[in-house]
Structures are given as structure tokens and as C-alpha cells.
Amino acid sequence: MVDAGEVIRWVPHRLVSSIVVPGTDFYLFDDRLVVFLHYAGNGTGTAKVTSTNPQDIRLCRTAFEAVWPLAIPHRDYEAAKGCPF
């Protein structure tokens, strides 16, 4: 997806220990719709659950705003894999 223009970042878990984040990956669309992504243990996508619940949207927006500045751009993360960030 990076080649298609999506901005992807990675964040080490140790940096988000005190930040409340959803239990799954998600997409947030225009602060009106959140899509939670569910995966099997092998990483295969199993479900997408949508929500327009204001509490879900607020959780995702707050988590995104807290985590984004700590996250490492995909190209930099790939170059530094294995480094103790």
C-alpha cells in the first residue's frame, strides 16, 4: 500500500504502554466511520467491523493523535529493522 501512496508508520509497543488504543487495527474515515480489522493468528484477515458510534470514533481519533508522532515511517522502519527503538 505504500507504493500506492498510503502513509504507513510503525510504533514500538514499548512507546505506547500508557496510551489507550483499540485492541485491533482500524481505519478512521472523516471522523464519521471506523472500520476495525480482525486477523487470525497467522495474520490472515478474518473480519472487518464498522462502527459509527461516537465513543468508538473518539477512541480511535484520540489514539491516532497520541500515537502518530511516536510512529516511525515505514521506509525508516524497514531500514532500521532490528534496531532497539
The C-alpha cell that represents 25 in the structure block:
487495527
Which of 10-14, 57-61, 76-80 is modeled with the greatest confidence?
Answer: 57-61
- Kindly state the percentage of the chain with pLDDT values over 70: 91
- Extents of the domains making up the chain: 20-70
Quick: pLDDT tens for 36-65. 999 999 989 999 999 999 999 999 999 999
The pTM (predicted TM-score) of the whole model is 0.77
pLDDT computed for residue 43 by the predictor: 86
The three-state (H, E, C) secondary structure of 13-69, written as one string:
HHHHCCCCCCCCEEEEECCCEEEEEEECCCCCEEEEEEECCHHHHHHHHHHHHHHHH
Separation between Cα atoms, residue 9 and residue 67, nearest integer Å:
10
